[in-house]
Structure 1
């Protein structure tokens, strides 16, 4: 499932190439024909993400809400900026720990610009904002660039729930959990049910909301971090990595986690989310030298401390990483480092 950084990157792709343009909306698959008709021919006026939800506003007051769920993805074609948000806007970066795009804050060199590095799944993670290209770009949990296109718009491929088309850019949505046209009041109601998002809420207010929500619950912290009403955007990978980085047993009840550690979880989530939006990948190991960093970009197994490493030795203590099912999802953790 795409985690928070992916949805923010997708929203910024829309902001870069669709906001301010008249959009033709259709449903090649047919399942969203009525919804598409409501927004067809209108100007897109806003694009924003909150956690795993994305909201696109159209002239007249209607919003398109999309939740990609486990299998959803957007395919962009035409004049599309590859990794359009490889660098955050200054206000986003300053709002998250006051760091600029030139400093990852983890001791690793900045790689937000320069030559791209392609990983084993053809994920091009290091394009900075640049001139748009007539190309294909799939944006979901992973980003994958396809071949450049010769004909625009291309024919829909597969089960396209909704197609959004401008004079030069096209976005096709497949397999979402939610895709609906709603009002501004309904958008506000959805957001009100969500926990704080470091790229939406002020850092101070978000930290207070998160800390209060965690500290009054007996639910294990490993479950709370996946609860979108507690905090927005954290999924299975970030959950495992945040807990390891904090040295925190995932079974600890929220109200038994020391307050200063809860606050540090929020601040670390802020750092990782900012870096994920900037780089385009869930890079959770810090302090890497140049060679190790490039290796991690090429191979996902070199990006994380514990995620997807069940039975392998902990990178710190050598103990085999444990895995168990928690709320239907696989939780990875170190029984020694996280006590």
Structure 2
């Protein structure tokens, strides 16, 4: 599932290509029945909150998209060819178009319905209106593991498995530490780090979390070779040597998702 920085990149891209212009909206697959209502309307704005994206066409006309595990936008310059596969929504502007396939959600909402959706979400480190204190209050009252809380979108929005693993490593926090045992100074550091790391992700389109002193250029090690890209400390590095202390990176499962951590750098 794409992490929040990818959804924010999509929002930026769609604002740049479609905002202020009338667009063609269709549903080649036929499942997004509201497409006909929007066809020819002016695309007003695109925004993201965590892993949720929305396109605004005016009062009470908001298309909400959640990519889920399999959703994907495919971008191309116009003219677009015939749709390939099951295209839920096709959006075509003056210079570019995009096809949406396989989303968990693609629906037309009113502003009130969008507000109710956002009320269920935790603060997003990539949004200027985020209130980290809201997330802290939920974390500090919980007996759940910090690793689980960081992935709970009602606590914190946009953080996925990669950012979860990396930010806990960077601050030496064991992933199974109960939320109510996390010191406030560590929470503040984690939040500020997520803001910085995820903002870099929006800019570059990849997840880089390794500090300069541990980079391939400084240490002489080989760069990471992985389809996800980016230099990371522990994510998807189970059994490999920790870049800081050489201890093998550990892995386990928590709530159906894999944990990655260094048993020495993140000692219980």
Tell whether 2:259 aligns with 1:331.
yes
Measured in 2, the distance between the counterparts of 1:324 and 1:228 equals 21
SS at match of 1:9: helix
Do the aligned residues in 1 keep the contact of 2:2 with 2:67 (CA within 8 Å)? yes
1:181 aligns with one of 95, 108, 120: 108
Normalised by the length of structure 1, the TM-score is 0.74
Deviations along 1:132-160, one digit per CA (max 9) or x if unpaired, are: xxxxxxxxxxxxxxxxxxxx122212111
Distance in 2 (CA, whole Å) between partners of 1:27 and 1:156 is 10
Matched, 1:244 2:169: yes
| Aligned positions of 1:136-175 closer than 5 A | 152-175=79-102
Cα contact 2:212–2:218 (8 A) shared by 1: no
2:75 maps to what in 1? 76
* In structure 2, distance between residues paired with 1:157 and 1:50: 29
Select which of 180, 194, 203 maps to 1:269.
194
How many residues are treated as equivalent by the alignment? 263
Q: Which runs of 5+ in 1 are unaligned?
A: 80-151
Say which of 136, 141, 161 aligns to 1:211: 136
Aligned equivalents of 2:100, 2:9: Cα separation in 1: 15
Give the secondary-structure state (helix, strand or coil) at the position aligned to 2:197.
helix
3-state secondary structure, aligned to 2:87: coil
Change (3 A) 1:170 1:296: farther
Indicate the residue corresponding to 1:63 in structure 2: 62
Q: Does the 8 Å CA contact 1:210/1:266 hold for their aligned counterparts?
A: no
1:248-275 Cα deviation digits (max 9, x unpaired) = 0100000001111011111111111111
Q: Check if 1:319 corresponds to 2:247.
A: yes
CA distance in 2, matches of 1:157, 1:249: 45
**Are the counterparts in 2 of residues 73 and 174 from structure 1 also a CA contact under 8 Å?**
yes
Unaligned 5+ segments in structure 2 are: none
Whole-Å separation in 2 of the counterparts to 1:257 and 1:17: 43
Deviation (angstroms), 1:59: 3.0
Q: What is the alpha-carbon distance in structure 2 between the residues aligned to residue 49 and residue 28 of structure 1?
A: 25
For the aligned residue pairs, the C-alpha RMSD in angstroms reads 1.9
Distance 1:272 1:166 in 2: 32
Q: CA deviation at 1:318?
A: 1.4
- RCO higher in 1 or 2 (8 Å CA, sep ≥ 6)? 1
In structure 2, the partner of 1:13 is: 13
* 4+ runs deviating over 3 angstroms: 288-293, 295-302
